[in-house]
């Protein structure tokens, strides 16, 4: 019996085109050659997780049992910051991460969250499946992190809090707002006049429940799946930014798969992304009614007051400077002129 290591070596050689790989037959009951983990920050019923389970099943079948991807949902492995550290060290092989948090290592990834930029979900994916996404993937790779080709959806974000409806930007004054721990996020809500705490999602529910913070901002689906409606009264429709997730892999663990497995995984990750986007967008569209029935009070914010404040405070000029003309150009190619 060859050892596991020898067999893996045989497969890798096979990936380069020898006959060995073709003759490789997995014995029933044998462990998969690659047992990789994928971590997420949301509960099991989120479309990101539901579709990972379906993809894992396809991957096991299509690789003849060689590649087994196991899901660790709901911050089981730690919050986003901890999972990202594990991903970079190789303790975690795959991870779904918002560009606004990935930006701690790849700063330009904050660009997806430029406020009031994308007009619609189709407009987002023109950019992210087009030149902007290609540019960002290059920057992620340059940091030794392997991005999958297509992003996942979170959606357009809305402001919630337990104190008062946010009707204009002035209503944010004096509110303690949690954002994810990302530079652009924190700067955005500071610029809008709130007091801001950057915090991982894993800590959010308790922070809202114990009034460490008054409010937060997330798409409908996260208000629902994170049960934030239990601890937040007011939802103000702001659509202030789009948010989505990169699926990233540890570079060494990715390389170890070899060409044949990489090809199968990539193909399935693309199918996964499109399934996840569709489920997520349908849910986001359908949840406003349910959230109100669960007790949330909705209002439409006057976002022209938000935009005016951002322009007056030179928010767009500052971030254009930070991202650089090339990245900003790719963004404006899809959004039109900003600021
Ligand atoms: O942390 C959040 O607010 C969440 C769930 O939307 C992200 O993962 C960015």
- Ligand 1: centre distance to CA 218 (Å): 7
Strands 152-156 and 176-179: unpaired
Nearest CA residue ID for atom 7, ligand 1: 98
Q: How far is Cα 220 from Cα 284, in angstroms, rounded to an integer?
A: 5
Same domain, 328 and 204: yes
Asked if 53 and 15 sit in the same domain, the reply is yes
- 13 CA → ligand 1 middle, Å: 40
Crossing angle of helices 325-335/121-128, nearest 10°?
140
Question: Between these two residues, 17 and 180, which has the higher pLDDT value?
Answer: 180
Contact 217, 194 (CB under 8 A): no
Ligand 1 atom nearest residue 101's Cα: 9
Same-domain check for residues 160 and 209: yes
Residues 165 and 295 in one domain: yes
Specify whether 145 is located in the same domain as 160. no
Crossing angle (nearest 10°) for helices 131-142 and 121-128? 50
> What does residue 49 show for φ and ψ, rounded to 5 degrees?
-80, -45
pLDDT at 234 over 90: yes
Pocket test for ligand 1, best of 47, 98, 189 (most atoms within 8 A of CB): 98
| 200/138 Cα distance (integer angstroms) | 26
> Ligand 1 center to residue 8 CA distance, Å?
37
| 106 and 31 assigned to the same domain | yes
Average pLDDT over residues 92-119: 98
Same domain, 137 and 163: no
C-alpha torsion sign, points 223, 224, 226, 227: positive
H or E stretch covering 94? strand 94-98
CA 11–ligand 1 middle distance (angstroms): 38
Tens-place pLDDT, residues 33-79: 999 999 999 999 999 999 999 999 999 999 999 999 999 999 999 99
Cβ(74) – ligand 1 distance below 6 Å: no
Do the Cβ atoms of 141 and 272 come closer than 8 Å?
A: no
Range of the domain at 133: 4-154+244-285
Distance, CA of 159 to CA of 172 (rounded, Å): 10
Residue 191 in contact with ligand 1 by CB distance below 6 A: no
* Nearest CA owner, ligand 1 atom 1: 201
Residue 305 CA to residue 317 CA, distance in Å, equals: 18
Q: How many domains does the chain have?
A: 2
Same domain flag for 231 and 183: yes
- Rounded to the nearest angstrom, the distance between the alpha carbon of 220 and the centre of ligand 1 is 12
Segment 181-194 shows an average pLDDT of: 98
Q: ∠ CA(320), CA(117), CA(324), 5° rounding? A: 15
Cβ distance 261 to 241 under 8 Å?
no
Query: Does residue 326 have a pLDDT over 80?
Result: yes
Give the mutation target among 39, 40, 41 for probing the ligand 1 site: most ligand atoms within 8 A of CB: 41
pLDDT at 1 over 80: no
The CATH number of the domain where 175 resides is what?
3.40.190.170
Expressed in angstroms and rounded, the spacing between residue 157 Cα and the centre of ligand 1 is 10
Q: Across residues 108-123, what is the average pLDDT?
A: 98
Distance between first and last Cα of the chain: 65
| Distinct helix (H) and strand (E) counts, the chain | 14, 12
Q: What is the distance in A from the centroid of ligand 1 to the CA of 103?
A: 14
Mean pLDDT for 295-319 is 98
């Amino acid at each position: 019996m060859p050892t596991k290591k020898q067999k893996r070596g045989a497969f890798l050689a096979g990936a380069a085109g020898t006959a060995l790989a073709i003759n490789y037959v997995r014995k029933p009951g044998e462990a998969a050659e690659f047992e990789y983990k994928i971590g997420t920050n949301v509960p099991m019923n989120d479309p990101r997780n539901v579709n990972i389970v379906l993809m894992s099943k396809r991957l096991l079948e299509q690789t003849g049992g060689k590649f087994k991807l196991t899901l660790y949902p709901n911050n089981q492995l730690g919050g986003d910051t901890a999972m990202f550290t594990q991903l970079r060290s190789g303790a975690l092989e795959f991870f779904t991460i918002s560009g606004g948090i990935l930006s701690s290592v790849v700063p330009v990834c904050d660009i997806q969250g430029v406020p009031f930029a994308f007009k619609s979900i189709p407009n987002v994916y023109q950019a992210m499946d087009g030149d902007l996404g290609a540019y960002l993937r290059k920057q992620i790779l340059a940091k030794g992190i392997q991005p999958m080709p297509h992003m996942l959806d979170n959606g357009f974000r809305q402001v919630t809090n337990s104190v008062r409806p946010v009707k204009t930007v002035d209503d944010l004054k004096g509110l303690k707002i949690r954002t994810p721990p990302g530079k652009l996020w924190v700067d955005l809500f500071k610029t809008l006049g709130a007091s801001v705490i950057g915090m991982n999602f894993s800590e959010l529910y308790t922070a809202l429940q114990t009034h460490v913070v008054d409010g937060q901002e997330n798409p409908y689906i996260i208000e629902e799946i994170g049960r934030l409606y239990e601890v937040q009264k007011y939802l103000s429709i702001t659509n202030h930014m789009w948010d989505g997730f990169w699926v990233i892999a540890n570079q060494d663990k990715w390389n170890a798969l070899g060409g044949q497995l990489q090809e199968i995984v990539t193909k399935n990750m693309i199918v996964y992304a499109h399934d996840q986007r569709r489920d997520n967008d349908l849910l986001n569209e359908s949840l406003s009614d349910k959230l109100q029935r669960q007790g949330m009070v909705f209002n439409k914010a006057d976002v022209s007051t938000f935009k005016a404040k951002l322009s007056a405070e030179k928010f767009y000029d500052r971030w254009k400077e930070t991202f650089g003309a090339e990245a900003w150009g790719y963004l404006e190619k899809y959004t039109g002129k900003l600021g």
